[in-house]
Amino acid sequence: MFPVSQSVSQFHSGGQSITFDSFIPGGQQRRFPAILGLHGSGGGHATMSDPAAMLAQQGFAVFVPHYFDRTGTRGVADRHTAIRQFPLWGKTVWDAITHVQQHPLVDPEAVGLVGFSLGAYLALSVAAVDQRVKAVVDFFGGFPKEMKFFMRRLCPTLILHGDADPTVPVTEAYHLQEILEKRAIPYEMQIYPGAGHGFTGDIWQDARRRTLAFLQKYLAAPQEPASMNVGS
């Protein structure tokens, strides 16, 4: 496993300063596949630390954009707020990808998105129009039905959902599965019996393992050494 260097920085989107948590593998001067981790409607970017650190230890450069900063959203985003601000948050994720691709330790051709709930809806929406996204992991989210009018493409997707989810019904997972199958997009899917909105215990550990294996499968390995003046 790699040692992990954590830092907090900013980038700009729509004239707003967006905070960015970075989890970068250490010990080697080379380019790593990049992951953007997208939190849910609770705005809990701090909850992303565990999966972000786990993936960084395995050789992924992980970035967690505080996309609520774009709209000044604080605390929990209710349904009305989420619907109204969703397009701006999507643009923020788009800008975040551009920012990440310029990082000296990132392979710009190997970018994936891992989203939780609202963050998964965002991840899939961005992936539907942005060919830079090579893989998506959907934790108990879904694909917005409105995006069918704008969808240009999709990429390999891992669907992880509980069949007792009271917040995002499991029918969202099956809807996404239908879209992927119709377009012959590679996907993997795990529906957890009895699981609700959010995973704990053995289910969380299984979801972590599946996430790591999926991203290792679909994101390219580092392709070239990084510049030797990294960090200067």
Alpha carbon separation from 150 to 65, 90, 147, 173 (Å, rounded): 24, 13, 5, 20
| Whether pLDDT at 176 is above 50 | yes
Strand order in the sheet with 106-116: 4-13, 16-25, 61-65, 32-38, 106-116, 133-139, 157-162, 187-192
Q: Where are the domains of the chain?
A: 4-218
Write out pLDDT tens, residues 12-27. 999 999 999 999 998 7
CA 179 → CA 12, 174, 202, distances in Å? 33, 9, 29
Instruction: Give the pLDDT band (50/70/90) at residue 226.
Output: very low
Give the N- to C-terminal CA distance of the chain in Å, as an integer. 25
Residue 191: exposure state from Cβ atoms within 10 A (0-12, 13-18, ≥19)? middle
What percent of the chain has a predicted confidence (pLDDT) above 90? 84
Amino acid at 168: V
Is residue 227 predicted with pLDDT exceeding 50? no
Find the mean pLDDT for residues 163-189: 97
Asked whether residue 231 carries a pLDDT value surpassing 70, the answer given is: no
pTM: 0.93
pLDDT classification of 101: cutoffs 50, 70, 90: very high
Lowest-pLDDT range of 59-63, 107-111, 149-153, 208-212: 149-153
For residue 222, is pLDDT > 70?
Answer: no
166 vs 151: CA distance, rounded Å: 27
Mean pLDDT of the chain: 92
What pLDDT is attached to residue 69? 96
Q: Which secondary-structure segment (H or E) carries 169?
A: none
pLDDT at 188 over 90: yes
Q: How far apart are CA 180 and CA 146, in angstroms?
A: 16
pLDDT for residue 223 is more than 50: no
Which class is 4-218 in CATH? alpha beta
